[in-house]
């Protein structure tokens, strides 16, 4: 990671075995890195018409928010995305709470929390939805993320 000399790097922990043995990564949630997870959550929001148009690029170390866009009735939509729930991300998200905004937190199934201002969506459910049909463009997108050629339709 940036600005770290020696540390444990989550994205390589899981992938190292596959890289070393030159095996394909399985198509599952654990194969994704943070940036890829942010992209699929953004696609999920667009698929369900939660976001109609993005405001800023997805993620980025300069941003306090992972996903932002314009939703129904011109309401601003803000979301945080993470493999784990952190108070820091929740607090950053709450900064954007207003009568004209919708807040979302994408996190692990076991990380659900109660906050009336934030809608919680399981990243497992997002992944399951986007990979439901192996002929969809979403499935192809995830295959590309994992450096796999898309399956051909017969």
Contact 67, 42 (CB under 8 A): yes
Q: Where are the domains of the chain?
A: 32-145
Output the CA–CA distances (angstroms, integers) from residue 69 to 83, 88, 113, in the order listed. 21, 21, 23
- Residue-wise pLDDT for 75-122, tens only, equals 999 999 999 999 999 999 999 999 999 999 999 999 999 999 999 999
Calpha distance 119→137 (Å, rounded): 26
| Predicted local distance difference test score (pLDDT) of residue 22 | 78
Q: What is the CATH number of domain 32-145?
A: 3.40.1350.10
| Predicted local distance difference test score (pLDDT) of residue 42 | 96
| Predicted local distance difference test score (pLDDT) of residue 61 | 60
Question: Residue 15: CB partners within 8 Å, gap ≥ 6?
Answer: 25, 31
């Amino acid at each position: 990671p940036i600005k770290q000399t020696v540390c444990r790097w989550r994205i390589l922990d899981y992938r190292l075995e596959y890289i070393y043995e030159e095996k394909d990564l399985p198509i599952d949630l654990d194969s994704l890195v943070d940036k890829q997870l942010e992209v699929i959550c953004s696609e999920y929001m667009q698929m369900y018409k939660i976001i109609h148009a993005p405001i800023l690029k997805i993620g980025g170390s300069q941003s306090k928010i992972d996903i932002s866009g314009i939703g129904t009735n011109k309401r601003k939509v803000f979301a945080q995305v993470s493999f784990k729930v952190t108070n820091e991300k929740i607090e950053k998200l709450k900064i954007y709470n207003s009568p004209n905004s919708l807040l979302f937190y994408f996190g692990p199934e076991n990380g659900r929390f109660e906050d009336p201002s934030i809608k919680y969506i399981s990243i497992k459910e997002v992944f399951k939805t986007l990979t439901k049909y192996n002929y969809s463009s979403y499935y192809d997108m995830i295959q590309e993320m994992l450096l796999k050629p898309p399956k051909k339709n017969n």
